[in-house]
Structures are given as C-alpha cells and as structure tokens.
Structure 1
Amino acid sequence: MTGKRSDAGGIEGFFRGLGDLVEKLGELAETGEALQKEGNIETKTSGGRQVKGVYGFTVRVGLGDEGEPRPRVEPFGNIRRDEETGASVVQEVTEPMVDVFEEDGHVQVVAELPGIGAEDIELELNGDVLDIQAASGDKKYRKEVLLPRSFTADGMTHSCRNGILEVRLS
C-alpha cells in the first residue's frame, strides 16, 4: 500500500493508518503473511527549505520461542522521533527495507537501495550484526541488521544490481 501526502498532516495520516494494524495482526497470525505500508511526505521546514520524508514498516509474523505466531514490526525510511522533543523529524540518512532469509547452509540478506551501485556500498560484519552503509549523491542509507547467528567476514559475499543489495553469509 502506498500513500502520498503534500502537507505536514502526512505523519498524522500515517499514525491513523496504524489503527488498522491491530486487526491485521490477527489475520497475519492466522495466515503467516506480511503486511507493508509506506508513503512519502513533501513539506517545507520553518525556514522554507523543501524536505522529503519517506516512512514505512513491514509486519511479519513468524514462530516465536514457544511455537506461537509472533509479529515483528520492521521500520524503514528517514522519519524518526526526536528523543528530546518527541517531534517527528526528517533525517538525511534513510533506513532501507531489508529482508533476512535463512536458507540451507547460509543466510541471505536483501536490501533495497535505490540509486546505489556496488561501488557505493560499505559492509561491516561484527558477529551477528551486519552494518550496511551506502551513499551516492543525495542518496544515503544506513541499517544495522541483526542476523540469526554470528558470522565471519571471510564467509561473506555480496552483489548489487539495480539498487538491490544481496549479501550471502555462510
């Protein structure tokens, strides 16, 4: 689902949309599907500067420790809550949407980095945390990905085509 707002009320619209989340989580627990919502906000700062915010989240339901369906909310975008003021602010660095797949003998991480090429990406692996950073022109991305177990850098390969980063860890 995608929405676009051209006024400062876009964030309130996003939070209103979260009201449907509770109902959808029940459906997701039954079907094991994923729910995703994203949108863009274009507005001006008090100084008159044009800013563009991207927000979104993915809700996935998987089995928890005791075999019960457990929802996980994974945010992405560049709108964050300021810790001091509590206000939502647009940041320069965008958190990309990332999927982690446990496959036979390895883990596959897939990140969406529009406008980024292979030469623009920096990866750092520290045990069970993969840090993805990428920058090209005005496109800047950063995400720390928690992996299902620890890996070493010598078991990591990656490729990037059309802004889709694929990291294989074994």
Structure 2
Amino acid sequence: MAEKTGISGGGFLEGITTLVTKLAELAEKSEQLQRSGEFGASDKGLRGVYGFNVRIGGGAPGQPSGIPRVEPFGNIRQDHQTGKAVVHPIREPLVDVFEEGPDVLVVAELPGVDRKDITLELREDILTLHAEHEALKYHKEVLLPRRFTRRQMHTNCRNGVLEIRLTAQEERRS
C-alpha cells in the first residue's frame, strides 16, 4: 500500500485552484504555459512535486481544439476523504501526446531514470508506463487517440526523456 503524508496549510488547494484559473486566462494569449515546483513534505523523506501544463489548441484525444486544458503532474494529490493535499511516493510524470499524421509521438519526462528502469504496457489505446530507480517512482496511464499494437511501438530514452513513437504500419518480422 502506498504511503501518503498530509500537508498542512489549509488553503493550499484553494490557492492552486485560483492560480490555475488565472493561468487559464493567460493561456488564451499563448500556446503553452508550464509551472512546477518541489518541496519537502515530511520527516519520512518524501518530497512533494507538483506541476501543471495549461495548453490551448490541438486538443487531447476526444477533446475539441481551442479549449484550455490543465494537465497536472507530480505526486501531490487531494485526499478524497479528508480534502487535504497528500504526498504519494509515486510521481505522475509530465507527458505530451503529439499526432504526427498517422503516427503518434508520446514524450514523458522521467528525471533520474534510464530506459532499463522503465516498463511499458500497451493495451489497444491505453499506454501504461512505470519507472523505478532507487527512491524515484513514476506511473502514468496515457489515453492514445487510437489503438496500436506492441509491434507499432518504438522507444528511445535519453537524459530522462522517454520518447515513444507509435507508427501506423506494423513492422514485418522475417
């Protein structure tokens, strides 16, 4: 079971909500805004990381373009029972999905891990990535714009940036 730690400062989530609203207004004037931060959360050695992207245009799969989207990442989430912000040991990485004609490129930021630390699972139109290196743990499920097979997936990881290219054509094996 994942350990989580409460963060004091009652207005933390309210402040984030206000900030996100203001950033959405600013996003109307630009293509992309990004904000992130890191802080110590407890005496248990967990570090809180929270960030978000606000994007306009090129909507996510199933969303119309031109609608502002706020995409959070990190390991701080709201506990649904207490309403407090909690730090989880598993971070949600920043992930971008780009449609390039019939192909799809998924880019994930996984600082501190190498390709050997990453596990990928592809089931139709859902890509699940998990990475673990020493104390760093990442997990994310990504909804793809259409279905792909494992044969259509090609990966490259350099300096903690994972690129997953899903090609329209399946590779033929001889």
Cα distance in 2 for residues equivalent to 1:20 and 1:129: 30
- The total of aligned residue pairs comes to 159
Which of 117, 121, 125 does residue 120 from structure 1 map onto? Answer: 117
Matched letter for residue 165 of structure 1: L
Structure 1 residue ranges without an equivalent (≥5): 1-6
Cα distance in 2 for residues equivalent to 1:95 and 1:67: 24
Cα distance in 2 for residues equivalent to 1:145 and 1:90: 21
Q: Answer yes or no: is the 8 Å Cα contact 1:8–1:41 preserved in 2.
A: no
Alignment deviations for residues 21-53 of structure 1 (CA, whole Å, 9 cap, x no partner) = 33442443354x112121112132xxx434310
Cα distance in 1 for residues equivalent to 2:113 and 2:136: 7
Cα distance in 2 for residues equivalent to 1:165 and 1:132: 10
Which of 54, 57, 61 does residue 62 from structure 1 map onto? Answer: 57
Determine whether 1:41 maps to 2:36: no
SS in 2 for 1:85: coil
TM-score by length of 1: 0.82
SS in 2 for 1:19: helix
TM-score by length of 2: 0.80
Matches within 5 A, 1:16-95: 16-31=15-30, 33-44=31-42, 48-62=43-57, 69-95=66-92
Identity %: 46
Matched letter for residue 98 of structure 1: V
Cα distance in 1 for residues equivalent to 2:165 and 2:53: 22
Alignment deviations for residues 124-158 of structure 1 (CA, whole Å, 9 cap, x no partner) = 01111110100010010000011111111110010
Which of 86, 97, 100 does residue 100 from structure 1 map onto? Answer: 97
Decide which structure has greater strand share: 1
Q: 1:150 maps to what in 2? A: 147
Cα distance in 2 for residues equivalent to 1:63 and 1:155: 23
SS in 1 for 2:83: coil
Alpha-carbon distance change, 63 to 109 in structure 1, aligned in 2, over 3 angstroms: closer
Q: Which has the higher contact order (CA 8 A, sep 6+)?
A: 2
Alpha-carbon distance change, 66 to 167 in structure 1, aligned in 2, over 3 angstroms: closer
What RMSD, in angstroms, separates the aligned Cα atoms of the two structures? 2.4
Q: Answer yes or no: is the 8 Å Cα contact 1:8–1:43 preserved in 2.
A: no
